[in-house]
Chains A and B, each alone.
Chain A
Amino acid sequence: MKHKKPLKLFELAIVKHAITSSFEKLNPLYLLKNPVMFTVEIGTAIMFVVSVITAINQRSGQGSFVYNFVITFLLFLTLLFANFAEAMAEERGKAQAASLRKAREDTPAKLVESDGSLKIISSSVLKKGDIYLAEAGDTLPADGEIIEGLASIDESAITGESAPVIREAETDHSGVVGGTRVLSDRIKVQVTTNSGESFLDKMIGLVEGAKRQKTPNEIALTVLLASFTLIFLFVTVTLFPFAFYLNTIITISALVSLFVCLIPTTIGGLLSAIGIAGMDRALGADVIAKSGKAVENAGDIDTVLLDKTGTITIGNRKATNIFPINGADKSVIMKYCYLSSISDSTPEGKSIIELVEKNIEIKNGEYENAKFIKFTAETRMSGVDLPDGTQVRKGAWDAIKNYADKENGVLSQAEKVVTEIAENGGTPLAVTVNKKLLGVVQLEDIIKPGIKERFERLRKMGVKTVMVTGDNPLTAKYIAMKAGVDDFIAEAKPEDKMNYILKEQQEGKLIAMMGDGTNDAPALAQADVAVAMNSGTQAAKEAANMVDLDSDPTKLLEVIEIGKQLLITRGNVTTFSIANDVAKYFAIIPAVFSISIPALNVLNIMKLSSPQSAILSAVIFNAFIILALVPLALRGVKYKPIGASALLRRNILIYGLGGVIVPFIGIKLIDMVVSLFFH
């Protein structure tokens, strides 16, 4: 991407904040929502008491004070590392949000009072519904919708894109964002959010551990981890009476260490960081999600609806040729084309003017007193009524076909031209004069470079792409084929999107779409993942569950990957965490019983040097593996679209098998170092 320098993984200021906040998060009331780490805190407290007792009473049978104290300290570190992971994710999210928000703080707003007078107030006191005026050079004080005028706006503060954009009242591009700057003209804007309630503020809530709502998947995982924790509680606590029966004494430090090592602290410690980091990545991609669930859902998307224009093709169609029909004179047709397009402000209309001006000269007087007919969705035609009564109409082929005189041969001749244009990916526009068909304009699309590869990637993820276009089916089919989309909706009316979504949802599929216009709002509300462009109308933004600050229609693809990454990271760390237990059993069980049941020493397959160092090594490994995996949690596991089974195989190999092997090596290495201190 073109803008903002990306946040470094460990920015010094962020790390400092995170360290402070890791201590604040030790508050048991806060930790209570994370059952795994909460039990570690209880374990730490128990070990602290044991340390104190061994300091006072050397003969308590609980081992030396130093040993107990070291274990206590290591458990404390385990807690801190887990808190640090969460704090890092939080701070990074806040930093990202802050840089987006910086621009809008305390900008003066020109409030338009009810009597029309202006009053300068601070942006922070603007309320929803207020109207403010912004002129060239002003920074917009709040999010809102233009109700009067049009302006070119520099949105680079938010999107990093330096080219100014045009925002205009009563169009699909009427939304403006606080913090951006007006470059020309003046607009009146109605505030759409109370300060503190803007989307960005909502997003900041999502990256704060304390306020964050857990997503359903995360809740399920938390419950499962809590269940494992409880199981290991039974496993370790019952060891005490078992040992008692066998006339063996197990020290409290050994039991607590075993417990903390067995419970899934790695995933327990990183779970919340992984969730927050997912939001961070969304923010990093300039997407503001209204809930964590929306980002997670994105990973499940089966079908994506994409508008052709701007997403699949670059900008708009351009007129590239004009074909006369029935032997009409080309320059005459060109003139009529020109006339019919003067009031047509659509990009297509403008491109026709461009094409004609290149070829023939048009005198200004020719369209004086003409009556311009605007394009409507009903007639799907536009044109002009000249003072001499000549009616020029230009429009989509199927509309013109019904409208024009059904002259012998003419229609079929035109039909041939139209079909040829359409088959080659062009869009035909027919031109009539007094209902007589005179010519066909060829409009052509240019497909974005690289878009085909992105669709290929989506297909490999199992996501179906659907192109939505107003084009006729033939053109649509050609572009669909060229761009590599799976399906298309041609001649789409606003309700078609909605119907397609309903149909797919009926089959149990999850649909994502991107939209900007007010008429997209119902479909956005119905879609499972709906991304509204920031340049879109307020209605669209309200209906969507994400807002893309860049207004980049291909952003959906990134959001889907972020969603998948989020789940994969969670799953992989869980698997790694559970697989670690194998090695930990083999480290601690022989250590606990080695003196009273020497036979069990056979299980010490790592040949750890002494029982104390074995337990210490396992606890050290357990604590530092959390720290070691913080970058992974923050960055997320890279997603590779290689099909579910292949992906699972790969992840089982890396995180499952790796999770079994790594601790064997890690604990052995740590033991070699630790044992130096025992001699």
Chain B
Amino acid sequence: MDTDMSGIIFGFLFTVILAVPFGKYISKVFKGEKVWTDFFTPLENLIFKISAIDPNEEMDWKKSMKAMLLLNLIFFIWSFAVLLVQGWIPILNPARIASMEPSLAFHSAVSFVTNTNMQAYSGETSATYFSQMFVFTFLQFVSAGTGIAALALIFKGLTQRQASNLGNFYNLFLKSCTRILLPLAFVVSIILLLNGVPQTFKAQQKTLTLQGDTVRVATGPVASMISIKQLGTNGGGYFGTNSAHPFENPNYLTDMVENFSILFIPIALVFSFGYYLDRKKLAWIFFGIMTLLFITFAAININYETAGNPLITKMGINQSLGNMEGKEVRFGAAASAYWGVSTTSTSNGSVNSMHDSQMPLSGGVYMLDMMINALYGGVGVGFINFFIYIIIAIFISGLMVGRTPEFLGKKIEAKEVKIAALVLLVTPFLVLVPTAIASYAVAKNPNLPWLNNPSFHGFSAMLYQFTSCNANNGSNFAGLGINNYFWNIIGGIVIFIGRFIPIIGPVAIAGMMAEKKYIPESVGTLKAESYTFAFMVLGIIIIVSALNFFPALALGPIAEHLAL
């Protein structure tokens, strides 16, 4: 118990301590300043030359977003096509895995292009090595790069004075991949390799078990995928059971390294905001707001998971290890709860335990975490979501001090608020409306083979599913049969809208702010670097975002908890 806790506390502190200097490094990359990874320049220039892109072309927000959508469309077409024909590709398919069925290929491509990584397939049986590498691992890099580049546009927008240029999307995107993701992924892969995560092109390995049976054990280029899966807040595993699988996450050390990787870039990006805008205190305040909620959530879940299930305790069964259903013994209850909060905070979605088997309130916290979706958040997009909360908080508190609201010297006016209000609508709509449709369908046709559990828990499963889709998290609450038309199609739509509207909206706001005049601060200006304002942002997150889901959560996890 005590070693469990100290492992978590040390792990978190270690992540933050390293994230601060890395945030500084990221801001240098965004600004195009000299960094030690400049040796990538020839490679980058070659890529620009081949793709006939001028990396110095100035782009306003509309042009940048067009570039982003175009690039993502190309990634989608490539992935969809490869998955459709993977069985006919003669190389890197030792296990002779067949091509994917079109709807599954479609769902998988959408899910990975959007950094969601919701998997309706099992990697070991449905994806060739070629697909694992050139579709899934590839998309895990570029979808993360897309999010980071979008955030870089916003940073630029906030520093511009009466200029529409937000930087070059292609340039920021490529540099995010080569200079931020690639070096880190390289280091993490090596650590994983040293701890026994496989990296091979050989076919499945035959092993004789103690019972004398011969089993075929799936393997492949795993380590290279796991590192970027965690670093890029992707979460899509090489194997079906994700990070609970011993080849993905062999021991406690790899667990801590992977948990570190989940949080590292999202936290570093918060600090990079401080370095980029030279507002370090503000970055720390934002980090403080996120961390306050993050630690609260982690504390709740670690508490419930280590305490175990009271119903089982009543049966007289020893629960000194905590609630171990659906968990790996090598990680334990506390580390599994910490991982759960990390993976739902950051829209990562990889799991090292089954969230479905956790205590009801833990499941509720995971959902709430994904509904807020800005406690560090997905790479780039987490801070982008947080930006919307800031805009709303700035607007209301600006009125409260009697000045037209302004943030970082730029006025927040009707246009910006309109966009923020629209983005605010997206999450409640995409989570509640599809869940309502699903609930109604189940109630009308009790024979639908969707739910493994009735009542509150079944409701939680459906709510979790759409919350995860909207947040581009990708984890699921086991116990829901999702590989069918309803869940694939509606889920796909939710994933798609939940990805792009919350990126385009805030980038547009930043683009509009960039064009505005800079207003110097006066005594009457509300300083964002104040605890009062931090309290306001926290209040907005809780009342405007979290409270909207109170009725739904009351009918799922809260009711289940109270019924225990």
Give me the interface of A with B, judged by CB distance under 8 Å.
216-217, 219-221, 223-224, 226-228, 230-232, 234-247, 296-297, 299-300, 302, 459-464, 507-509, 563-565, 567-568, 570-572, 574-575, 578-579, 581-582, 585, 589, 593, 597, 599-600, 602-603, 639, 643-645, 647-649, 651-652, 655-656
Known contacts A227-B421, A602-B562, A648-B532, A568 near B428 by CB under 8 Å: no
Residues of chain B lying within 8 A (CB to CB) of residue A460? 523
B408 interface residue (CB < 8 Å to A): no
| A462–B406 alpha-carbon span in the complex (Å) | 15
The smallest C-beta distance from A257 to any residue of chain B, in angstroms, reads 13
> Are B524 and A461 neighbours in the complex by a CB distance under 8 Å?
yes
Asked if B479 CB lies within 8 Å of chain A CBs, one says: no
A546 to chain B, nearest CB (A): 18
8 Å CB contact of A238 from B417, B418, B442, B552: B552
Apart from A585-B551, A648-B532, 11 more pairs, CB < 8 Å: A227-B424, A234-B429, A235-B548, A238-B433, A241-B437, A242-B551, A464-B522, A507-B520, A571-B397, A599-B562, A647-B400
If A241-B439, A508-B517, A581-B543 touch, whether A570 touches B399 (CB-CB below 8 Å) is yes
- Tell me if B520 and A582 are in contact (CB < 8 A): no
Tell me, in angstroms, the Cα distance from A602 to B522 when the chains sit together.
Answer: 49
Minimum CB–CB distance from B321 to chain A (whole Å) comes to 28
A635 to chain B, nearest CB (A): 15
Q: Are B437 and A585 in contact (CB-based, < 8 A)? A: no
**When the two chains form their complex, are residues B524 and A231 in contact, meaning their CB atoms are under 8 A apart?**
no
Cβ of B520 and Cβ of A508 under 8 Å apart? yes
Q: List 22 A-B contacts (CB under 8 A).
A: A220-B395, A230-B425, A231-B425, A231-B428, A235-B428, A242-B436, A242-B459, A245-B440, A245-B443, A245-B459, A299-B403, A299-B404, A567-B398, A572-B399, A574-B399, A581-B543, A582-B543, A600-B554, A645-B526, A648-B400, A648-B533, A652-B397
Nearest chain B CB to A246 CB, angstrom units: 6
Residue among A236, A238, A244, A509 making CB contact with B520, cutoff 8 Å: A509
Rounded to whole Å, the gap between the CB of A202 and the closest CB of chain B is: 23
Task: Tell me whether A300 and B404 are in contact in the complex, defined as CB-CB below 8 angstroms, given that A238-B433, A245-B459, A571-B399 are known contacts.
Answer: yes
In the assembled complex, the Cα of A297 lies from the Cα of B411 at a distance in Å of 12
Chain A nearest CB: distance from B413 CB in Å?
6
**8 closest residue pairs by CB, A with B:** A571-B399, A462-B524, A564-B402, A462-B523, A227-B421, A571-B400, A599-B562, A462-B522
The answer to whether A644 touches B401, judged by C-beta atoms less than 8 angstroms apart, is yes
**Complex CA distance for A578 and B546, rounded to whole angstroms:** 13
A239 to B552, CA, bound (A): 7
Let me know if A579 and B425 touch, CB within 8 A.
no
Choose one: B413, B416, B555; the contact of A593 (CB below 8 Å).
Answer: B555
B358 vs chain A, min Cβ distance (A) = 19
Q: Are B403 and A223 in contact (CB under 8 A)?
A: no
Please report the C-alpha to C-alpha distance between residue A223 and residue B459 in the assembled complex, in whole angstroms: 33
The reply to whether the CB of B453 lies closer than 8 angstroms to some CB of chain A is: no
B546 shortest CB reach to chain A, Å: 11
Q: For residue B455, which residues in chain A have a CB less than 8 angstroms away from its CB? A: 246
Task: Contact check, B547 vs A581: say whether CB atoms are below 8 A apart.
Answer: yes
The contact string, 1 if C-beta is below 8 Å from chain A, for chain B 432-451, is: 11011101101100000000
Q: Which residues of A contact B397 (CB under 8 A)?
A: 571, 648, 652
Q: Which residue of the partner chain, among A220, A246, A570, contacts B413 with CB atoms under 8 Å?
A: A220
For A647, give its contact among B402, B517, B558, B562 (CB under 8 Å).
B402
CB of A258, distance to nearest CB on chain B (Å): 8
**B interface residues (Cβ-Cβ under 8 A, vs A):** 392, 395-404, 409, 412-414, 416-418, 420-422, 424-425, 428-429, 432-433, 435-437, 439-440, 442-443, 455-456, 459, 517-520, 522-527, 530, 532-533, 535-536, 539, 543-544, 547-552, 554-555, 558-559, 562-563
> What is the CB-to-nearest-CB distance from B173 to chain A, in angstroms, rounded to a whole number?
31
A643-B429 contact in complex given A224-B395, A589-B550, C-beta closer than 8 Å: no
Q: Is the CB of B402 within 8 A of A568?
A: yes
A residues near B395, Cβ cutoff 8 Å? 220-221, 224
Q: Kindly list chain A residues whose C-beta atoms are within 8 Å of the C-beta of B559.
A: 593, 597, 599-600
Contact B548 A645 (CB under 8 A): no
Contacts of A244 in B (CB 8 A): 439-440, 443
The answer to whether A582 and B400 touch (CB under 8 A), given A220-B417, A302-B522, A652-B536, is: no
| A-side contacts of B459, CB under 8 Å | 242, 245-246
Q: When the two chains form their complex, are residues B400 and A231 in contact, meaning their CB atoms are under 8 A apart?
A: no
Q: Which B residues touch A597, using CB under 8 A?
A: 555, 559
* Chain B residues within 8 Å of A459, by CB: 523
> Which of these, B392, B398, B527, B551, contacts A645 with CB under 8 Å?
B527
On chain A, the residues within 8 Å of B403 by CB distance are 299-300, 564, 567, 644
Q: Which of B396, B424, B523 sits near A644, CB closer than 8 Å?
A: B523
A241 and B551 contact, CB distance less than 8 A: no
- Give chain B's interface secondary structure class: helix
Q: Are B550 and A585 in contact (CB under 8 A)?
A: yes
* Distance, CA A578 to CA B400, complexed state (A): 14
CB distance from B532 to the nearest CB of A (A): 5
Q: How far is the CA of A357 from the CA of B550 in the complex (A)?
A: 86
Considering only CB atoms, which chain B residue lies closest to A586 in the complex?
B550
- By beta carbon, the residue of chain B nearest A506 is B517
> Is the beta-carbon distance between B432 and A652 smaller than 8 angstroms?
no
Complex Cα distance A228/B523, Å? 32
Smallest CB separation, A640 vs chain B (Å): 10
Q: Are A567 and B399 in contact (CB under 8 A)?
A: yes
A370 CA to B455 CA, complexed, in Å = 109
- Chain B residues with Cβ below 8 Å from A223 are 414, 417-418, 421
A508 CB, min distance to chain B CBs, angstroms: 4
Q: Which residues of A are found within 8 Å of B520, using beta-carbon distances?
A: 302, 507-509
Q: When chains A and B are docked, how far (Å) is the Cα of A392 from the Cα of B23?
A: 76
Closest to A464 in B: B522
B536 to nearest A CB, angstroms? Answer: 7
In angstroms, Cα B443 to Cα A567, docked, is 48
Known A-B contacts A219-B414, A231-B424; A242 and B402 likewise in contact (beta carbons under 8 Å): no
Q: In the complex, which residues of chain B have a beta carbon less than 8 angstroms from the beta carbon of A565?
A: 402
Residues of A within 8 A of B409 (CB): 508
Which residue of the partner chain, among A217, A509, A581, contacts B404 with CB atoms under 8 Å? Answer: A217
Q: How far is the CB of B262 from chain A (nearest CB, A)?
A: 30
- Contact check, A578 vs B544: say whether CB atoms are below 8 A apart: yes
A297 to chain B, nearest CB (A): 8
Q: Is B522 a contact of A235 with CB atoms below 8 Å?
A: no
Q: Is the beta-carbon distance between A242 and B552 smaller than 8 angstroms?
A: yes
CB distance from A503 to the nearest CB of B (A): 13
Question: What is the CA–CA distance of A226 and B517 in the complex, to the nearest angstrom?
Answer: 28
Using Cβ atoms and an 8 Å threshold, which residues of chain B touch A462? 522-525
Name the contact of B456 in the complex, choosing from A246, A507, A603, A647 (C-beta under 8 A). Answer: A246
In the complex, chain B residues whose CB is within 8 Å of the CB of A240:
436
Return the chain A residue nearest B413 by Cβ: A216
Contact status of A224 and B436, CB under 8 A, knowing A216-B414, A246-B455: no
Q: Tell me if B548 and A651 are in contact (CB < 8 A).
A: no
Q: What CA separation (Å) do A217 and B548 show in the bound complex? A: 25
**Distance from A153 Cβ to chain B, minimum over Cβ atoms (Å):** 37
Which residue on A lies nearest to B402, using beta carbons?
A: A564
Measured in the bound complex, the distance between the Cα atoms of B552 and A305 in whole Å is: 56
Task: Identify the closest chain A residue to B419 (Cβ).
Answer: A223
Query: Bound complex: CA of A427 vs CA of B405, how far in Å?
Result: 43
A509 to B521, CA, bound (A): 9
Contact A568 B399 (CB under 8 A): yes
- Whether A645 touches B532, Cβ cut-off 8 Å, given contacts A235-B551, A582-B547, is yes
- Distance between A625 CB and nearest chain B CB, rounded to angstroms: 17
Please, which residue of chain B has its CB at the minimum distance from the CB of A505? Answer: B517
A568 partner, pick from B392, B400, B443, B535, beta carbons under 8 A: B400
Q: Are B555 and A242 in contact (CB under 8 A)?
A: yes
B525 CB to nearest chain A CB (Å): 6
